[in-house]
Amino acid sequence: NAGVTQTPKFRILKIGQSMTLQCTQDMNHNYMYWYRQDPGMGLKLIYYSVGAGITDKGEVPNGYNVSRSTTEDFPLRLELAAPSQTSVYFCASSGTVYEQYFGPGTRLTVT
């Protein structure tokens, strides 16, 4: 099993551009999450999903959108990128809510 995979690993965006961060899991987990990690701030939840077709906002959803059309995939969309979205983004999944498995992350820079 590959676990949770994320693409791309690195990306540089210009202000105002848009992009999609991809996340796929092969563990048949119902729960999936997107976090951002900023230095000294821990992880902040952006969006989560409890199953295909069901998504909801986390702590810091502004500027992001998600969709969950399949159990495996949970892409994160950034519209009109801003410097404040420079961060490391982690996707995670879990079969139960608490035991989360993380992908390797995407390092995004907006300039």
Partner 1 sequence: AQSVTQPDIHITVSEGASLELRCNYSYGATPYLFWYVQSPGQGLQLLLKYFSGDTLVQGIKGFEAEFKRSQSSFNLRKPSVHWSDAAEYFCAVGSAGETSYDKVIFGPGTSLSVIP
Size of the site for partner 1 (CB under 8 A): 22
Which CB, 14 or 42, lies closer to partner 1? 42
What is the C-alpha separation between 40 and 50, in angstroms, rounded?
28
In contact, 27 and 1? CB cutoff 8 Å? yes
**C-beta of 103: minimal distance to partner 1 in Å?**
5
Half-sphere exposure of 13 (CA within 13 A, CB side): 24
User: Look-up: residue for tokens 């951002």?
Assistant: 36
Task: Retrieve residue 39's tokens.
Answer: 């230095």
100 contributes a contact to partner 1 by CB under 8 A? yes
- Among 15-23, 39-47, 70-78, 79-87, the segment contacting partner 1 (CB under 8 A): 39-47
Q: Which residues bind partner 1 (CB under 8 A)?
A: 4, 35, 40-43, 45, 48, 50, 56, 58, 90, 92, 97-105
